[in-house]
Amino acid sequence: MARLTKPHREAESEMSIPTAVPQKNPADAPHTGLEGVIAARTELSDVDGRAGVLTVRGYDIEELAGNAAFEEVAHLLWHGALPTATELRELQGRLSGYRRLPEETSVAIELAARRMPPMDALQFIVGSLIADDPDPEDESREANLMRAEKLVARVPVIVAGYHRLRSGQSVLEPREDCSLAANFLYQLLGKEQPAGEIRGLDTYLVTVADHGMNASTFAARVIASTASDMYSAVTGALGALKGRLHGGAPGPALQMIEEIGTPDRAEAWMRDAVASGRRLMGFGHRIYKVRDPRAEVLYQAAEALADETGEQQALALAREVERAGVQVLAESKPGRNLNTNVEFYTALLLREIGLPQDLFTPTFAIGRTAGWTAHVLEQQATGRLIRPQSEYIGPRGLRYIPVSQR
Ligand code: ACO
């Protein structure tokens, strides 16, 4: 694993970022994607891509997903320990209270719902949340924790409000007597949802809450490292999450499964797609060289719901698409170890829960906001600017030629 070398800074804090000193060697080309580079020390989560283990603050993801509520995991990420019953009650109370949006944010939702796509809308609207910050200049941990709680509480309310307005429905007042997952589904779908769907969404949010130094988290930490604010860090992270190589894959993964249609068509479809140079959505990962552990957690959550939602057939189809995809990729990209990633079963689970396909990535953002804000808090504690170097490969010494002579 390439580790960025640490220059002469004896007194650098434990949490600070080693500065990049790229080697001028073409053999370094694989590092253009920073693979293998350790860009931060973190106590938040660890991805062991060879063993297929995701650790969140000391817990394997399988231990948390399905057991802990999303609010508990947000507390775990922010404070390093699961909350006591009193701490959880107090946190739930604050999060419920924050569901009421500032007027500026409600106006932003109305504007965005006219014709902005979901992730662009979310990024635009989240930027408005600074409007009711009591003191934007306050950089204390307490002030930033409050911002983290407000962001986690409000992102789902924003997604639900945006969806209601864009589909010609009225925005519902948030409820204060239920969990974040239950309120999101209520505000989005217009009525209280069955316990199974709420549990399924809670499991999903916990599963995606944090995941090492993924692209959007890195973006958030870079922004936080400049001493910019938490809202800016989260809007930057949203921009990174939107891309189909990161959080934008579950919609296309579902389209792929729907297009395949029946299990007997899976293998031929996959072969054709790979032969024509297409990427199979929901497969491959920069870090995991075995099956993403989150894929199994989400498959099980989808299976637990299947009796209620009648999606057994869809799950059986997905299993065959997964098998065929892994086999075709192993044959066509030998040695790459391309397996199913989190996005594959995300698509099925979120569809079962009743979410529209183009809200899959915004729903990912609801969960990941807990991780982003925890990383911002951790980055702020280091006080260290993230500023790598680049290797210049262009010409030098050119002379200016006036426009009239070009
Ligand atoms: N389908 C087909 N081929 C693939 C796939 C795929 N899903 N993933 C990787 N490959 C191939 C590449 O074409 C490349 O082949 P080559 O060496 O012959 O050119 C090789 O495997 C290595 O791929 P890289 O792009 O170097 O792998 P990288 O680590 O950069 O990519 C990524 C990881 C972006 C996730 C990639 O696997 C991908 O595009 N997957 C599909 C999109 C997806 O599912 N994204 C969600 C990721 S999970 C998340 O971010 C939450």
Specify the pLDDT at position 309. Answer: 83
Q: Is residue 392 part of a domain?
A: no
Question: Does residue 11 surpass a pLDDT of 50?
Answer: no
Q: Find the mean pLDDT for residues 157-180.
A: 97
Q: Find the mean pLDDT for residues 38-57.
A: 96
Specify the pLDDT at position 117. Answer: 97
Residues 201 and 320 in one domain: no
- CATH code: domain of residue 281: 1.10.230.10
Residues 135 and 197 in one domain: yes
Q: Find the mean pLDDT for residues 241-255.
A: 88
Specify the pLDDT at position 27. Answer: 52
Residues 66 and 136 in one domain: yes
- CATH code: domain of residue 201: 1.10.580.10
CA of residue 341 to ligand 1 center, whole Å? 10
Residues 199 and 179 in one domain: yes
Sign of CA dihedral 105, 109, 110, 116: positive
Q: Is residue 404 part of a domain?
A: no
Residues 335 and 367 in one domain: no
The residue to mutate among 276, 280, 329, 333, having the most atoms of ligand 1 within 8 angstroms of its beta carbon, is 333
pLDDT per position as a tens digit, 304-348: 999 888 889 999 999 999 999 999 999 999 999 999 999 899 989
CA-closest residue to ligand 1 atom 28? 286
Question: What separation in angstroms does the CA of 144 have from each of 117, 133, 224, 304, 372?
Answer: 29, 10, 11, 37, 12
Specify the pLDDT at position 13. Answer: 37
Residue in the structure block whose two tokens are 């594959």: 344
Specify the pLDDT at position 25. Answer: 53
Let me know how long the chain is.
406
Residues 113 and 229 in one domain: yes
How does DSSP assign 249-269, residue by residue? -HHHHHHHHHHH-SGGGHHHH
Residues 133 and 211 in one domain: yes
CA angle 71, 242, 95 (to 5 degrees): 20
Counting the structural domains of the chain, the total is: 2
pLDDT per position as a tens digit, 135-147: 999 999 999 999 9
Residue 60 to residue 363: CA distance in whole angstroms = 22
Query: pTM score, two decimals?
Result: 0.90
Q: Indicate whether residue 274 lines ligand 1 (CB < 6 A).
A: yes
Q: pLDDT-derived band of residue 5, with 50, 70 and 90 as boundaries?
A: very low
Q: Is residue 86 part of a domain?
A: yes
> Do 305 and 352 touch, CB atoms closer than 8 A?
yes
pLDDT per position as a tens digit, 114-137: 999 999 999 999 999 999 999 999
Question: Does residue 58 surpass a pLDDT of 80?
Answer: yes
Q: Based on the number of CB atoms within 10 Å of its own CB, is 233 exposed (0-12), middle (13-18) or buried (19 or more)?
A: buried
Residues 200 and 118 in one domain: yes
User: Domain of 314?
Assistant: 250-353
Residues 88 and 200 in one domain: yes
CA-closest residue to ligand 1 atom 45? 245
Mean pLDDT of the chain: 91
Report percent pLDDT > 70 for the chain.
Answer: 93
Q: Indicate whether residue 283 lines ligand 1 (CB < 6 A).
A: yes
Residues 180 and 205 in one domain: yes
Question: Does residue 397 surpass a pLDDT of 60?
Answer: yes
Residue 221 to residue 195: CA distance in whole angstroms = 36
Residues 206 and 337 in one domain: no
Specify the pLDDT at position 392. Answer: 94
The residue to mutate among 286, 322, 340, having the most atoms of ligand 1 within 8 angstroms of its beta carbon, is 286
pLDDT per position as a tens digit, 371-388: 999 999 999 999 999 999
Query: How many Cβ atoms are within 10 Å of 75's Cβ, its own excluded?
Result: 23
For residue 35, which atom of ligand 1 is closest to its CA?
29
Specify the pLDDT at position 188. Answer: 98
Q: Annotated catalytic residue: which of 75, 163, 211, 285?
A: 285
Residues 338 and 375 in one domain: no
Backbone angles phi, psi at 140, to 5 degrees: -70, 160
Q: Is residue 75 part of a domain?
A: yes
Active-site residue, 343 included: yes
Q: Annotated catalytic residue: which of 149, 322, 343, 378?
A: 343
